[in-house]
Structure 1
Amino acid sequence: MEWISLEKAQELILSKTSPIEEIQRLPLNKALGFIAGETIHAPMDNPPFDRSPLDGFALRSGDTPTASADKPVRLRITGVVYAGGVFERPLVPGEAVRIMTGAAMPLGADCMVPLEDVRTEAGELLVFRPVKAQENYVFRGEDIPKGEPLVQEGEWLGAVHLGLLASMGMDTVPVLRAPRIGLLCTGDELTPAGQPLAPGKIYSSNDTMLSARLEEFGFHARLLPAMADDAATVAARIAAEAGNLDMFITTGAVSVGDKDIMPEVFTLLGAEQLFWRVAFKPGSAVLCGVYRNTLLLCLSGNPFASFTSFELLARPALAKLARRRDLETRRILARLKDPFLKKSPTRRFIRAKLTEPENRDLPFVSLPEGHSSGQIRSLLGCNCFVDIPAQSTALNEGSEVEVVLF
C-alpha cells in the first residue's frame, strides 16, 4: 500500500469514526469532564424564596419615610431569622427582624438594612434614613428562573457546571458515555517500570505516556500489559478486546523489520486496512484499520514518534468520537526563535515551545536540543510541533512557520 499524506490519513480515520450517541446518567461527583447528553433546564427557581443578601434587619419600607440622622425611626425587634430558617408570621407595621445573609425574607418585609447602617437600643432598632422598597432584597428566581437552560447539549462539564446542577437539587446528570479506548505496547525488549532490567532490555514508557495523555483529555484507557512480538498472541488479544472498544491503540512493530508483526496481525484478524505509512517524520510507520467496528491505530514504538502520530492522528478521531471541539487540531503561524539547520526532504514535525510575542506580529517558538524520534526528555516543556514542509532547506531564526498546538 502506498504512502499517503497526513491529511489523507486524517480523512480516512475520520471517515471510520462516528460520534458517540449512547447516553448514560452519572452522579455529579463522577461526571467531571464528560459531555452533557442533553440540554438541562432549571427545575426550580434559584433562590427558591426571597432572601437577604446581607446581615442586618428585615423591615417594611413604609415605616421609614421620616427617618433621619437627627430623628431616627424606632422599630421593635421581634425575632431573628438564620439561614435555613423562616419567620413564622407576617411582619406588621413597626416591627423589624434580625436577619442573616441568605435567610428567607419574612412575609410583609420588603427591604432590609445592613447591620452597619443601624443601631440597636433596648430591644429597638434605630433607622437613620429612609429605606426604599426592594433595597437589599433578592427575589425568588432572581439568579436562575425555573425553566432556564443551565447546560447545553454537547457542553463539556466542568466544576462550575456540576456545582450549578447541585444548586438545583440534582444529584445525577445525563452524559455521553466515555470513549472506550484500549492501549497495548508490543516489543520483546520491553520491561515494565519497577522491575529489574535485563541485558538488552528497555523500560516501557509509551504505555505510561499515552495513557496519561488520554487522562489529560479526560479519557480513561484500558491499559493492557506489554506483549512480546508474537503475531498470533497479539492478534488473539486484540480479537478478545476489540468488540468492546471504540479505538484500540498499539505501539511498536509497525515497520518492515523481522519483528514488525502488526501487518501480519492485521492479516490474521482479517482487519480492514485503511493505510500503512504516512508521509511525515517522525512516526511515518503508522498502520490503521478497522476490526469489528473498532478503529485500530498502530503507532511507532519510538517514544517521540508515537507521541507525534498520536497527536496528529488519534487526537482528531478522539475529538470527533467524544464530540470534543476543544481537542480538535489547532494551527497558528509563529516565528522561529532558534534556527533549525537540518534539511527536511520529507515533511517533518519537530517539538517546540510557543511563547508570547514580544511586541511582534507573531508569537515565537523556541526549539529544544535533541530531536531524535526515540528521545522524550527534550519534549518536556514543549506545547506544539513545528510543521516543516517536505523539501525544506535549513530554517533560520525569524522564519515564519506553521505550528500545531498540543
Structure 2
Amino acid sequence: MKLAYEEAKNKLIDSVSVTTAETVDLEKSYGRVLAEDIVAAENVPSFDRSPYDGYAFRAEDTAIADDMIDGHGSAVAISENVPGIGTDRSSERSGVVLRVIENIRAGQLPEKKVVPGTAVRLMTGACLPEGADAICKYEDTDFTDTEVVLKRKYKTGENVIYAGEDMKKGQIIARAGTVIDAGLAGAMASLGIISVPVYKRLRTGLISTGDEVAELGEELKKGQIRNSNRYSISAALEKYNIDTVYLGHVDDDEESIIRMIERGLRECDVLISTGGVSVGDYDLVISAMKKAGLDILCDGVVIKPGMASAYGVKEGKLMLALSGNPASSLTNLQCVCMPALRKMAGYLDYDHRLVDMRISEGYTNKSSNTRFLRGKLGYRDGEVWLEYSSSQGNVVISSAIGCDAYGIIPPKSGQILEGKMIKGFLI
C-alpha cells in the first residue's frame, strides 16, 4: 500500500521508540543528545561579582554627584558631613571622591567591608565586597592609588553580576532531547557536571542489493554502477550522530537477501537497504522483508524522487528499504525517514521545521506526487530563497552537492512562478 508523504512520515514516527541511555564524560558529550533534563544544582555565578576592571562602592555615596557639576565642568561644593566623602574642585577631576581601601583580584576574597566614603578596586570577575552595591569601570573615573573620583550618580545594583544571574539553583538548563552544543557543554561545566546522561548512538546497518552494483575499488564493468548510496546515506546519518556499519552487498537472490536482513535485525537498531524495491522480476526486497518476519508499514510513498520504497518493523527494529537510484534513496531518507530516525535517537525536535521560502525558478507539478526540490538557501532583500538546479532527476546525485534544504511542491499544484512562496525545511 502506497502512502502520501505526510501519512508515511507520521506512520514511521508513530512506529518507533527512543533508544536507551548511557552516561559519558562531559568532554566526550559534544553532539550527543541529552537523555535527562539538566537541572542547576547551584547558582552560577555562586557569588556577586564584577563584570569589569573597576571600583565597587555604595551607590548612596553618589546620590549628589549629578548636582556637583555645573555647565562648565567645575565642582560645586557639597556638605562634608559624611566621613570619607569629599569633592574634587578642579575642573579636570570633578565628582565624588572616595577613599580606596583594598584591591581585589579574581579568585581573591575581600577582607574589608565597604563603608560610607570608601571604595574597593576590583579586577574582572572579582567578588563584590560586603557593603558595596554598585560598580563603575576604570575608564569612567579618575583615580590614584588611594582615591577614586566618581563623576556621576549610580543606581543600586548597577554593573553588578548577582549570584544566579546566569543560572539559578533549581533551574532547568536544558531538556532531555537537546543536542549538546558548545554553549550547553560550557554551561554544564560551569555547574560542575562531570558526566552526562545521553541517548546511545543508533547503530544502523547498510545493505546494498543488485547484480549491477560495484563496490569502490572494483573494476566497473559495462552495465554496472558504483555503490554511491552507501556513502551518501552514511554521511546523511552521521550529521545526526547515527552510527552506520556496512553489512555488505547481496545479489538479486531472495534467500541471500533474507539472510542479510535477519543478520541486520540481530546486530543493529535500524536496517537500511538500497535497491530491489520496484516492481521488476528481480526486485525481491519487499518479499524478503515479509519472509524475514517484518510487518510492512507501506510499500511506497507518493513522492518524487523516492517513490519506490518500503518500511517495516519487527520487535522494535526498523527497516527502511530504499530505491537504488542515488537521488531517490537520499531524498526519501532525508524527507520521509529522518524524523523517525531522529526520534529514535532521542531528539526533542525530531520533525522537520517548516520555513517559508521563495523559489528561484518556476516549477510545474501536475502529478499526484509530492515533489521535493533539492537546493541551497539564499537571501535576497531580507527574504529566504531556495536556489535549485533544474537537474532534479531520480538518478542525478550532483544536484545534492551543497544541498541544505528541500522545497516542498504539493501534489497537483500546477504552475508555480519564480519568486512564489513555498514551504520547505533545512536538512
TM-score range, shorter chain: 0.7 to 0.9
Cα distance, 1:109 vs structure 2: 4.4
Moved more, 24-33 or 328-337: 328-337
1:216-295 alignment, distance < 5 Å: 216=239, 218-229=240-251, 230-295=253-318
Match of 1:32, SS state, is coil
Q: Name the amino acid aligned to 1:369.
A: S
Alpha-carbon distance, 1:354 to partner: 6.8
1:152 shift after superposition: 2.9
The match for 1:198 is 220
* 1:370 matches 2:391: yes
CA contact (8 A) 1:43 1:146 kept: yes
CA distance in 2, matches of 1:373, 1:212: 19
Gaps of 5+ in 1: none
2:44–2:163 Cα contact (<8 Å) kept: yes
Report the Cα distance in structure 2 between the residues aligned to 1:134 and 1:185, rounded to whole angstroms.
66
Aligned residues: 395
The residue type equivalent to 1:299 in the other structure is L
1:53 corresponds to which residue?
51
- CA positional deviation for 1:344: 4.9
Give the Cα separation in 2 of the matches to 1:94 and 1:64. 4
For residues 6-405 of structure 1, the aligned pairs below 5 Å read 6-20=5-19, 22-59=20-57, 61=61, 65-70=85-90, 73=97, 75=99, 77=101, 79-88=102-111, 90=113, 96-116=119-139, 117-120=141-144, 123-129=145-151, 134-193=157-216, 195-200=217-222, 201-216=224-239, 218-229=240-251, 230-324=253-347, 326-331=349-354, 337-340=360-363, 344-347=366-369, 349-353=371-375, 365=386, 367-382=388-403, 383-389=405-411, 395=415, 397-398=417-418, 402-405=422-425
Seen in structure 2, the aligned counterparts of structure 1 residues 245 and 130 have a Cα distance that, compared at 3 Å, is same
Going from structure 1 to structure 2, the CA distance change for 1:64 and 1:243 (only over 3 Å counts) comes to farther
Question: What amino acid is the match of 2:169?
Answer: K
Distance 2:278 2:16 in 1: 25
Instruction: State whether residues 303 and 375 of structure 1, in contact with CA within 8 Å, keep that contact through their aligned partners in structure 2.
Output: yes
Confirm or deny: 8 A CA contact 2:326 2:395 kept in the other structure: yes
CA contact (8 A) 1:66 1:129 kept: no
CA distance in 2, matches of 1:101, 1:348: 58
- Paired letter, 1:371: Q
Q: Would you tell me which structure has more strand in proportion to its own residues?
A: 2
Q: Is the 8 A contact 2:203 2:245 kept in 1?
A: no
* Residue aligned with 1:227, SS: strand
Distance 1:270 1:370, change over 3 A: same
% identical equivalent positions: 29
In structure 2, what is the Cα distance between the partners aligned to 1:404 and 1:145? 38
CA offset at residue 25 of structure 1? 2.7
**Rounded Cα–Cα distance in structure 2 between residues aligned with 1:333 and 1:114:** 46
Question: Which secondary structure state, in structure 2, belongs to the residue aligned with residue 306 of structure 1?
Answer: helix
- SS of aligned partner of 1:67: strand
Once the 2 structures are TM-superposed, how far is the Cα of residue 19 of structure 1 from its aligned partner?
3.6
Contact 1:243–1:293, Cα closer than 8 Å, also in 2: no
Q: Counterparts of 1:28 and 1:185 in 2: how far apart (Å)?
A: 37
- For 1:397, give the aligned amino acid: L
| Change over 3 Å in CA distance of 1:64–1:146 after alignment to 2 | farther
Provide the C-alpha distance between the structure 1 equivalents of 2:232 and 2:164, rounded to a whole number of angstroms: 47
SS at match of 1:372: coil
Deviation of 1:298 (Å):
0.2
Secondary structure at the aligned position of 2:35 is classed as coil
Structure 2 CA distance, aligned partners of 1:334 and 1:74?
60
Aligned-partner SS, 1:237:
helix
RMSD: 3.5
Q: Distance in 2 between matches of 1:370 and 1:154?
A: 37
Shift of 1:285: 1.8
Deviation at residue 314 of structure 1 after TM alignment: 0.8
TM-score by length of 2: 0.78
> Is the Cα contact below 8 Å between 1:184 and 1:223 reproduced in 2?
no
For normalisation by structure 1, the TM-score amounts to 0.81
